[in-house]
Chain A
Amino acid sequence: MGGMSRRALLGAAAFTAATTRIRFARAEDPIKLGASLSLTGRFSDSAKYAQEGYQLWEEQTNAGGGINGRPVSLSIQDDTSSPDTGRVLVQRLIDRDGVIAILGPYSSPITDAAAVVVERAEIPMLGTIASDSSIWTRRKLHWSFQAFPSSDYDHRGFLEIIKAKGGVKKLGIVFEQSPFSIASKDFAEKMARDMGLTVESYGYTPGAQDFRSIIERIVSFEAEAVTMGGYYEPSIALTRQMMERGFNPLAYHFILSADGVTKDALGANVEGIFGRSAWEATLERADSKAFVAAYQAKFNRLPAYHSAAAYSAGQVIAAAIKAKGVDRTAIRGYIASNEVETVLGTFKVNETGQQTGYKYVATQWQKGVSRVVDAKSAEWPKPKWS
């Protein structure tokens, strides 16, 4: 020390301070993730729950010290429920914002569009609310993974209850002319015919609101049970027009009926309507209950399954980054070959990237609450609409 000049000492001190600052800057650099979500447009009523799920996950992750000591920064952009806009936004998130992974959009069409971009850019993406498995069977995807139960099984829970309860000989299936709805209709038709039911299916164009002609066909067919595999708004329109027509099926199911707003839209007539859910707030698992409590504390309402799906996507990405760091290829490899326990259940994908771990549960509105049901606990038949 006595041999060091004052200048050398000052220089060493400055060098140490500079390198220390650099080390702190690297540790504090946030891990950048991106999401294109339908904050406006025809999907926004459901997508807002997904947004909240992402936000809660990001907040909790950062409150817990981030991932490997680094905070997470999740940029959520509005794709206005348009696949074209979603594609542009995902490209921008990758090119301009430098995200290392994409948390999926709401809906299969937008996920499908985003997949084109992430495959080209070689960025891992989780299809958070993408039930259409054909996205993964139509072409080989290496960077996109389904993080939601497959829509093939949309009607399965309802059909299993019909089989157990009996009394239904004819089933009417209403479906949207969209890949996810067509896939679930095809599966349901086969399952129903194998059960010995006579089935008729009625397709409508996306965005349709007038179902009167379809209802006349259902009435002519004398269906005892009806199942609707479309999005929320047309499902409500179909339901209300069936009530208007005075058509009261023995059992009625629409896949998104478990959403809380169904009760606002239909009032007391929601009683007895079946739905399906990837997750319900009433599940008894400890991690699920903790998620519900945190969500209620932040947003002052119960989460929908979209919220749980989004939160779970965050959990999967966090597990991958924790295990493999921020290298995209390593993250991709982890997601492709590992099971991750999440709020939604066990995340697991097959060799094509399709989800094989998550399952749907059947739900039914009983006494003003949407409950998970099976053949034993299901109310049967549906009360007549007033």
Chain B
Amino acid sequence: MTWTLAFQLLVNGLVAGGLLGLVALGLALIFGVMRIVNFAHGEFVTLGAYLTWIIASPLGLSPLIGVPAAFVFGAAVGWAVHTSIISRVTSRPSLDVLMVTYALSVIGLGLFSLGFGGDFRSYSSGPSGELRLLGISIGLRSLTVLVICVALATIMVTLLRSARIGLALRALAQNRDAAASSGIDTKWAEHVAFSVAVGLAAVAGALVSLIGTTTPSVGQNLLLDGFVVVVVGGLSSIPGALLAAFMIGLMQSVCGYFLDDAWAKIVTYALLYVVLVLRPQGLFGQKVEA
């Protein structure tokens, strides 16, 4: 393997990992703060993809506008969904909550199919061309995706570390009762967490539409890999989810080159199994003593 090939595979892996990271970030946030496994997360990715397609194709605007638009719209939808549905069931047994998110997923998929049909949606506008550096080529669309993913991830980690809301969310994730008794408005914090997570998912969808095609199931395709990333990284660990996402993206890129994409999936899920057996808290999560 030449150095240029190695770097090329690295770049490809980082792009794939970046998208996975955005999806996993939202999943980790929701699980960390609310202890909810959100099966509807894929549909929020699809929401962002279709919104961006509408902006780029029928409206004829730059698809890059879809990125902030997807975040804002996604966050608004997330707020509405959490307020009207999720928050009403969080006190129920976890299986009930799981079924509610699954039902939301099925409803979302149905609505997208009805609204947009099964045809794939694609647009040719957006960044075009490639950047060549030291023999490595990176398409400008892929570069855009990578830059946005890294920027958002950095912003999220910084906010969680130092902003007031970030501290509130971390407190909630560590101990809900203690957070409440120290004056944190837990309901509001949960609304914010869910909204931000959905906004991030929608941005992932916007970016997916930029480098691929959009169908009603585009989000679901990312969701399963997103779950793997979250488990491997550590269920409540945001930095863990991001690191795991890039790691898995790189692994899939290398496996895809030397073997094929079927093996890339097999290796990914074998890694999941190994982690669950040897380090169930995830590579970067904290062990919880019984």
Interface size in chain B (residues, C-beta < 8 A): 37
Q: What residues on B are CB-neighbors of A232 within 8 Å?
A: 120
Interface 9-mer from A16-24, A39-47, A110-118: A39-47
From B5, B12, B261, contact of A205 by CB (8 A): B261
Interface check B65, CB cutoff 8 A: no
Chain A 59-95: CB-based contact to B (< 8 A → 1; otherwise 0): 0000000000000000000001100000000000000
Given contacts A205-B265, A209-B213, contact A244 B141 (CB under 8 A): yes
Chain B residues touching A, majority SS: helix
Contact between chains at B120 and A214 (CB < 8 Å):
no
Q: What residues on A are CB-neighbors of B16 within 8 Å?
A: 210, 212
Q: What residues on B are CB-neighbors of A220 within 8 Å?
A: 5
Interface check B262, CB cutoff 8 A: yes
Q: A363 to nearest B CB, angstroms?
A: 20
Q: What residues on A are CB-neighbors of B60 within 8 Å?
A: none
Among A185-230, those with CB < 8 Å from B are 202-205, 207-210, 212-214, 216-217, 220
Contact between chains at A202 and B130 (CB < 8 Å):
no
Chain B 159-175: CB-based contact to A (< 8 A → 1; otherwise 0): 00000000000000000
Contact between chains at A207 and B213 (CB < 8 Å):
no
Interface size in chain A (residues, C-beta < 8 A): 43
Q: What residues on A are CB-neighbors of B262 within 8 Å?
A: 177, 203, 205
With both beta carbons as reference points, the residue of chain A lying nearest to B119 in the complex is identified as A45
Measured between alpha carbons, how far is A111 from B41 in the docked complex, in Å?
34
Chain B 223-257: CB-based contact to A (< 8 A → 1; otherwise 0): 00000000000000000000000000000110111
Q: A46 to nearest B CB, angstroms?
A: 9
Interface check A374, CB cutoff 8 A: no
With both beta carbons as reference points, the residue of chain A lying nearest to B122 in the complex is identified as A265
Q: What residues on B are CB-neighbors of A217 within 8 Å?
A: 257
Given pairs A237-B212, A245-B137, A246-B130, 15 additional interface contacts (CB within 8 A): A40-B113, A42-B118, A80-B118, A210-B16, A216-B12, A232-B120, A233-B120, A233-B213, A237-B213, A244-B139, A244-B141, A261-B119, A265-B124, A265-B213, A267-B124
Q: What are 12 A-B pairs at a CB distance below 8 A?
A: A43-B118, A45-B119, A202-B260, A212-B15, A213-B256, A214-B261, A216-B5, A216-B257, A232-B120, A236-B213, A240-B211, A241-B139
